[in-house]
Chains A and B, each alone.
Chain A
Amino acid sequence: MNEQSVPSGIDPKLLEILVCPLTKQALRYDREHQELVSAAAGLAFPIRDGIPIMLVDEARRLDDAASTTRPEGAAQ
């Protein structure tokens, strides 16, 4: 009930129901960077305002950590 009082966090129930959209394996929650990390796919899925973005084309590739560009210039 009071989970919403942590604005930058993510609903722990949500973490339990999500897997990597490519490998279907478990995700690791990176609290500091607000990302869901799929080690197997080499992708980090961003969490914005507590909402995970599970789109592969919006994920950060783990092998070029410096890149912030989006593959197709999607909104925002």
Chain B
Amino acid sequence: MIRTQDVKRSYRRWAPVYDIVFGKLFAHPRREAAEAAARVGGRLLEVGVGTGIALTAYAPSLSIVGIDVSREMLARARLRVASLGLAHVEDLIEMDAQDLAFPDGSFDVVMAQYVVNTVPDPDAALDEFARVLRPGGEIILVNRVGAAAGPRRAVERGLQPIVERLGWRSEFPFERFERWLGRQPSLRLVERRAMPPFGHFALLRFTRIDPS
């Protein structure tokens, strides 16, 4: 069971070195996610913005609000925004992905990279992403998506002690996303693409259909 305070504590420790460890490793998925966001345009919510490592990848035409539960990570994001003059970043706010403080339909894109398996209640977070998404908008996730069996599964088990230090949940099979999607009649899965490193990660895109 992951608790929010555990996540906060974990990322407080990771804040000083996160970019060094994860900068290059996740550069490709970050770029792909940013390109998908640019195709939608408008207002983007970056959930788990962390040190703001993804912010530089976004098209300047987007308006970005970033949230995170870790004050230490957000402090680094603020430094990055100020030092690089990232004018498309409107606000960085301490907020929990499971209890978003935005009205319904506030964003054209809800982006969450390496977030869903770190929160105590992933379904609650995903429900919130859907709630604040405007019709026609997209939820874009980059996430570790577990394999049910086979050699990849064995590698995942080997990786587990490492990712647990990030507060990442061990098991996050795609079926969990499918079950969640089954309870969201207004959402459609539009893309599922394997991502490096190792193909253990996936870019997932969901769109909210216009009810009219």
B102: Cβ under 8 A from any A Cβ: yes
Contact between chains at B4 and A57 (CB < 8 Å): yes
Quick one: CB contact mask for B59-99 with A, threshold 8 Å, 1 for yes? 00000010101011000000000000000001111111001
Question: How many of chain B's residues touch chain A, expressed as a range?
Answer: 20 to 34
Q: Residues on B close to A: CB < 8 A?
A: 4-5, 8, 12, 65, 67, 69, 71-72, 90-96, 99-104, 106
Contact between chains at B8 and A74 (CB < 8 Å): yes
Cα distance, A57 to B65, chains bound together (Å) = 21
A21: Cβ under 8 A from any B Cβ: yes
- Take A17-B106, A19-B102, A57-B4 as given contacts and tell me if A76 and B71 are in contact as well, using a CB distance cutoff of 8 Å: yes
Cα distance, A73 to B109, chains bound together (Å) = 34
Cα distance, A49 to B179, chains bound together (Å) = 41
Q: Is the interface of B mostly helix, strand, loop or mixed?
A: mixed
- Take A54-B101, A57-B5, A74-B8 as given contacts and tell me if A21 and B95 are in contact as well, using a CB distance cutoff of 8 Å: yes
Contact between chains at B94 and A17 (CB < 8 Å): no
How many residues belonging to A are interface residues under a CB distance threshold of 8 Å?
22
B5 to chain A, nearest CB (A): 5
Cα distance, A22 to B124, chains bound together (Å) = 12
CB-based nearest A residue for B3: A72
- Take A14-B91, A75-B72 as given contacts and tell me if A55 and B104 are in contact as well, using a CB distance cutoff of 8 Å: no
Within 8 A of B (CB), among A1-59: 11, 13-14, 17-22, 24, 51-58
- Could you list 17 A-B pairs, sorted by A, with CB under 8 Å? A17-B65, A17-B91, A17-B106, A18-B93, A21-B96, A21-B101, A22-B99, A51-B92, A54-B96, A55-B94, A56-B96, A56-B99, A58-B94, A72-B5, A74-B5, A74-B8, A75-B12
